[in-house]
Amino acid sequence: MFYRMSCAMKSEKGLLKSQKGFTLVELMVVVIIIGILVAIAIPVYNNVTSNAAERACQASLRTVDGAAAQWVAGGSGRTLADVDAISTLVEAGLLKAAPTCPDGGALTITDGVAACPNGHTY
Ligand SMILES: [Zn+2]
C-alpha cells in the first residue's frame, strides 16, 4: 500500500516535472532571431528583384536594337535614322509587340537606338 502511494506520488511529481514549455526569454530569443533573419532577407530580396528587372529591360533593349538592324538590312536605302518608332518594327513583323520596361513605361527608339524611360542601358 505504501509502495503504491509512493509510486503514485512519484509519478505525479514526475508528471509535473515533465510538463515542458518555453519560457518568455526563450520565446523572445526566437522572435529576435527571426527578426534579424527577416531584416537581412528583405533588402537582399529587393536587390535581386531590382537586378532582375534591369536585366530583363536590357534584354528587351537588345532585342529592339536587333530588330532595328534587321529592318535596315531588309530594305535597300534604309538607315537606322529611319527607325523612329517601335511600331515600325512591329508592323514589319520583326517584333510581336512593343516591349515595355518591367519598372514601367514603354521602350522608345530614336535613330535606331532603343531607350528605356527608366534610364536602363546595356
Ligand atoms: Zn527599363
Distance from the CA of 100 to the center of ligand 1, in angstroms? Answer: 7
pTM for the structure as a whole: 0.72
**Residues around ligand 1, an ion, CB closer than 5 A:** 57, 101, 116, 118, 120
Residue 61 cell numbers, joined: 533593349
Distance from the CA of 55 to the center of ligand 1, in angstroms? Answer: 9
Q: Can you tell me the distance from the alpha carbon of 4 to that of 52, in angstroms, rounded to the nearest whole number?
A: 71
- The H-assigned helical ranges of the chain are 2-18, 24-73, 86-91
Per-residue pLDDT of 60-92, as tens digits, reads: 999 999 999 999 998 888 999 999 899 999 999
Question: Are the CB atoms for 25 and 71 separated by under 8 Å?
Answer: no
Could you tell me if residue 93 is left (phi over 0), alpha (psi between -120 and 50 degrees) or otherwise beta? left
